Amino acid sequence: MELLEQILFGLMIGGIYGVIGVGLTMIFGVMRLSNFAHGEFYMLGAYFTYTFVTLIGGDPFILAPLAAIAVGAVGIAINRLLFKSLYEELKEVKGAAAFYFQDLKFIMLTIGLSILFVDLALVLWGPIPISIPSPLTKHIVKLPGGLSFSLARLIAFVVAIATLVGLYAFLKFTKTGRAIRATAQNPSAAMLVGVNIYKIYDITMFLSTGLAALAGGILGPIYNVYPTMGLDVVAKAFVVVITGGMGNVIGSILAGFLIGLAESLGGLFLGTEYKQVVAFVIMIIVLWVRPEGILGGGRK
């Protein structure tokens, strides 16, 4: 029974890792930038949800998608104001030099954004953790054999799965999805066949930051909300992305579940003090055996 419980909770957390990781891997795959501020969009999603709950009233699980759209708009704004000029400046630079030059600038920029957002949250919402009340967190689902979890956790898991399936269908079957995949494969070629890559970047930023914010919004009521909550998940998100294969959406989803499950079982069999270590050991093993990640290697 203990094993079953651990597997259950491991998979539920894995779904959330998947949602956060997928956003990060999309930005990496399509825009070729490592977004170190990704965790802060997760944090903003939680605080926006809290603010909507206090302003409008209603259940956080209904308002979380609204917060995700709002944070997605912030993502687009950042893309237009900060990233676009960098991309335009770099358009003329060719080859490997362009990649390194570009990546370094973006790394510094996104680290700066991360610090800015954390401080902004400190000023706007204060340092004391906040809980977002929802009747769903108090409603406990009881299964036979003593297994139980809150309805909120179940909803979070269902939303995570639905979002991941929806995203996959969007990328696979829609015209915009195809354009996004084309841009990920080769931006210059995509431009030649008439894809407006700056618009694709806008859409990618919206999806990526919105997904992170959605995760924050649905986890806010389950855990608590505090300014540095994004910093606590971003390292795990990078582990998921690297393990799954950088830029690979399906890989990130699989890696999310793999790491969620491995942490739970690692905690059970090795001792909970090694829980955090397990995720990184898996990443190192994957990088050793398959440096491109579980599903890495070009496919998007």
Q: Under the rule (CB under 8 A), what is the footprint of other proteins? A: 1-2, 5-6, 9-10, 13, 127-131, 133, 137, 140, 142, 146, 148-150, 153, 219, 223-224, 226, 228-229, 231-232, 263-264, 267-268, 271-273, 275-276
CA–CA separation, 7 and 268 (whole Å): 10
- Contact of 153 with 222, CB cutoff 8 Å: yes
Cβ 203 to other proteins shortest distance, Å: 30
Cβ proximity to other proteins, 140 vs 165, nearer residue: 140
Cβ 275 to other proteins shortest distance, Å: 6
CA–CA separation, 261 and 20 (whole Å): 16
Cβ proximity to other proteins, 92 vs 273, nearer residue: 273
Cβ 272 to other proteins shortest distance, Å: 4
Cβ 267 to other proteins shortest distance, Å: 4
Q: Which tokens hold the place of 49?
A: 């949800």
Cβ proximity to other proteins, 268 vs 287, nearer residue: 268
Cβ 229 to other proteins shortest distance, Å: 7
Closest listed residue to residue 72, CA positions, set 229, 199, 204: 204
Cβ 221 to other proteins shortest distance, Å: 10
For tokens 């209904």, the residue is 62
Closest listed residue to residue 168, CA positions, set 291, 104, 250, 94: 250
Cβ proximity to other proteins, 153 vs 181, nearer residue: 153
CA–CA separation, 134 and 148 (whole Å): 18
Cβ proximity to other proteins, 39 vs 245, nearer residue: 39
To the nearest 10 degrees (0 to 180), the angle between helices 151-173 and 2-26 is 40
Cβ proximity to other proteins, 30 vs 43, nearer residue: 43
Per DSSP, helices labelled H in the chain are 2-26, 38-55, 60-78, 84-90, 95-125, 135-138, 151-173, 175-185, 187-192, 197-219, 229-244, 249-270, 275-289
H-helix or E-strand containing 79?
Answer: none
Closest listed residue to residue 213, CA positions, set 58, 59, 75: 75
Cβ proximity to other proteins, 174 vs 272, nearer residue: 272
Cβ 56 to other proteins shortest distance, Å: 21
36: alpha, beta or left? (left if phi > 0; alpha if psi -120 to 50): alpha
H-helix or E-strand containing 140?
Answer: strand 140-142
Closest listed residue to residue 222, CA positions, set 49, 22, 29: 49
Cβ 274 to other proteins shortest distance, Å: 9
Cβ proximity to other proteins, 104 vs 147, nearer residue: 147
Grouping H, G, I as helix, E, B as strand and the rest as coil, residue 225 is: strand
